[in-house]
Structure formats: structure tokens, C-alpha cells
Amino acid sequence: MPSLSVVIVTHDHREAVREALPALAAHLHDGDQLIVVDNDSSDGTADAVREVAPDALVIDAAANLGFAAGCNRGALAASGELLCFLNPDAVVAPGFREAIERPLAGGGSWTAWQGLVTAEGGTVVNTRGGVVHFTGIAWAGGAGEPVDRWEGWAGDGPRIQPGFVSGACLAILREPFEQLGGFAGEFFAYHEDVDLSLRLRLAGHSLGVEPAARVDHDYEFAKGPAKWRRLERNRWATLIRTYPGALLALLAPALVATELALVPVSAAGGWFGQKLLAWGDVLRWAPRLLRERREIQSQRAISAGEFARALTAELESPYLGGAGRWRALRAALRAYWSLVLALLGASRSADAS
């Protein structure tokens, strides 16, 4: 049985860890690790961790590193063969420890996978695998669906090939995580799981979902105006770093159109200023992103067409409002994406949901 290192990043999460950590600690086996990276909390989070999970390794980051860099810091201290990154408010369900390592049984082919993340006390799905639109916009797949579909799942139920695996409950073999350099620490927060997932695909690895490994997550989309800045800059950083050149060239008209469309959308939503700041971030980051792109693309093990199959033309996310329900837009996106796939030599579009 492989050893497991669970990494949790906190910042002012005292009450969340008081609720979540006792159940997690009770599931861990001898030889497993619980690593908590505290990003300079001011509410006594680190003391709460030591109280409810005295065997945990608590790393005081002495600054707010953000989620991505915090995870990388925790992974450096990990000794387990399997890493599992959890949100601090993720409450594990019974059987989690055995279920999260189940994909390794019988020489499974996945390099990284996620559990089934629920919300509202375990009654609805928060994410059953992420979805990535070809413009780089990404969201939680299955959000709001009833969780009943997964009751009694015991390893022979539906298998999902996600567009990305969610950082709320992400398991990955330690060796490839280290080989790829971990999460993009400069992202701070948001889209770092998308970026890592796409880099894994580029390098020839596969992703999956293990619905028997269940955690409940107190999810809310609204996290303040700065979230829009980070989402948009990190989306563009991911596109620049991970998309093969042929795919980027074919998508250039759609990416320009998306930026133009986001101007009135962001203005109406009150976050146009954050969109401008995101553009500034990308321009400032451009030299570094291009250097990183060359390194990432040099490790590519699949064709641009194979990479594209994990993306989708659909906009079915409940977080995107009514845009995805416009028939004319849906038809145009599907036609455009079909043409791109044909030009890349991809025989079929992806089912990323």
C-alpha cells in the first residue's frame, strides 16, 4: 500500500480546520502524512491545527504565498508516493483514505485524479471533473447536479475523463508532480489546477475521477473583485504556456473575439477594472511566460489534435449565465471547433464533461 501525503494550505481558516481535520486525521494510516502550510493566518489557524490534528506537520509560511505556491511548499516536505491536495474546508466522507488510492490498484493508468467534490452537506455535486472550453475558460463539471447518481458507487460505475482535475481534492503521483515543477506558483490562486492538468496531458499523462473518494466543500464563487483579475490573467497564462502552437494559431480569431466580448460583460458585471489589470499582468509576465512555454512545449508527447480533444466548444456552466444557451452562439462555437479539430487532424471532439 503506497504512503499518502495530504497537503492543505490555510489562510485564516481556523473554524474550517476545526471541522474538517479531525475526520481526515482519523482516516490516515501509519506512515501517512498530514502537512498544513499556513499562509500567515491572523486568526489562530495554526494553533487550531495543532490542537485538532497534533500529528500534523505545520509549516509556517510567514507570508501569504497563495494556494499554488503554498501547495508546492507543502509538497517539498512530503515523503509519500501519492500526494493529495485538499481545500481546508473539505470534509472527507467515510472510506476516503482507501478510495483516494484506488486508481493505483492493478496498475491504473491515471497520473492524477480527483475525488467527487460535493456541496450543501453532500446533497449536490460541486465538481465531478473540470471542463475546459477551447478559449481557456474553465469550470466545475456537474455543479448543482444531485449526488444520488453516485450512491453505492463501488469501482465499476461511470468513468469520467475530465478536462482538468480540481484542486479541491487532487491526487497525483509525487514523481511526475515534481518532474513538471508542481503548480504554477506565480498564479497565486485560481486556474492552477487547469494549468497543471493541461501540462500533464501534454506530457502524455492521463487524468481521471474517483467518485468513491468523496469530500464536501463549502463552495462559493464570489471571492471579491480580485478573483476576476486572477482568473483572467491565469487563463491567459495557461493558454500561452500549454496550448500547442498550431492550436493557438487556429484559435487566434476566437480568442480575440472573446476578449472583445468580455469588455461589455465585465463592464456590466462591475469588474472591467480587474480585466484591465489582468491584461497588464499578462503583458508584464509575457517574457517569463514565453520562456516557460518553450520549456513546457519541449516536453510535449502528444499531437496538437490529441491535446485539443480534451477541450470543448460547449458553454454549459451554470456560472456563465445565459450565454451558453444562445442557439446561434452554440452553433457558431460548435462549427468553429469542428473546423479546428479537422484542421488539426483530430477525428473527434472531446467529451470534457
Residue 119: what are its φ and ψ, rounded to 5°?
-145, 175
Higher pLDDT among residues 351 and 237, named by residue: 237
CATH code reported for the domain at 4-216: 3.90.550.10
* pLDDT(157) > 50: no
For the segment 336-352, the average pLDDT, to the nearest whole number, is: 76
Sorting pLDDT into bands at 50, 70 and 90, what band is 219?
low
Buried b (16+ CB within 10 A) or exposed e, 143-167: beeebeebeeeeeeeeebbbbbbbb
Residue 345: what are its φ and ψ, rounded to 5°?
80, 15
Q: How many whole angstroms separate alpha carbon 190 and alpha carbon 167?
A: 9
The pTM of this model reads 0.93
Sorting pLDDT into bands at 50, 70 and 90, what band is 346?
confident
- Of 12-16, 109-113, 232-236, 314-318, the poorest mean pLDDT is in 314-318
E-strand stretches of the chain: 4-10, 33-38, 57-60, 82-86, 91-92, 110-119, 124-127, 130-132, 138-140, 169-173, 206-216
Identify the three-state secondary structure at position 270.
coil
For the segment 47-53, the average pLDDT, to the nearest whole number, is: 97
- 27: buried, middle or exposed (CB in 10 Å: 19+, 13-18, 0-12)? buried
Q: Which of 287, 286, 290, 266 is nearest to 276 (CA)?
A: 266
Q: How many whole angstroms separate alpha carbon 249 and alpha carbon 309?
A: 16
| pLDDT score of 107 | 66
Buried b (16+ CB within 10 A) or exposed e, 301-322: ebebbbbbbbbbbbbbbeeeee
Tell me which amino acid residue 290 is: L
Angle at 107 between CA 104 and CA 110, to 5 degrees: 60
Residue ranges of domains in the chain: 4-216, 226-344
For the segment 316-330, the average pLDDT, to the nearest whole number, is: 75
For cell 489589470, name the residue.
Answer: 277
Percent of the chain at pLDDT exceeding 90: 82
- Average pLDDT for the chain: 91
| pLDDT score of 266 | 92
Higher pLDDT among residues 107 and 286, named by residue: 286
| pLDDT score of 350 | 38
- Of 107-111, 213-217, 297-301, 322-326, the poorest mean pLDDT is in 322-326
| pLDDT score of 226 | 87
* pLDDT(151) > 90: no
- Of 212-226, 268-282, 283-297, the poorest mean pLDDT is in 212-226
How do beta strands 82-86 and 4-10 pair? Answer: parallel
**And the C-alpha cell for 124?**
449536490
For the segment 277-303, the average pLDDT, to the nearest whole number, is: 97
Sorting pLDDT into bands at 50, 70 and 90, what band is 351?
very low
Contact 169, 215 (CB under 8 A): yes
Contact 163, 129 (CB under 8 A): yes
Sorting pLDDT into bands at 50, 70 and 90, what band is 105?
confident
For the segment 95-107, the average pLDDT, to the nearest whole number, is: 89
- 265: buried, middle or exposed (CB in 10 Å: 19+, 13-18, 0-12)? middle
For the segment 291-318, the average pLDDT, to the nearest whole number, is: 94
For the segment 17-41, the average pLDDT, to the nearest whole number, is: 96
* pLDDT(90) > 60: yes
Q: Which of 238, 258, 244 is nearest to 344 (CA)?
A: 244
Q: How many whole angstroms separate alpha carbon 30 and alpha carbon 321?
A: 47
**And the C-alpha cell for 205?**
499523462
Sorting pLDDT into bands at 50, 70 and 90, what band is 327?
confident
For the segment 146-159, the average pLDDT, to the nearest whole number, is: 65
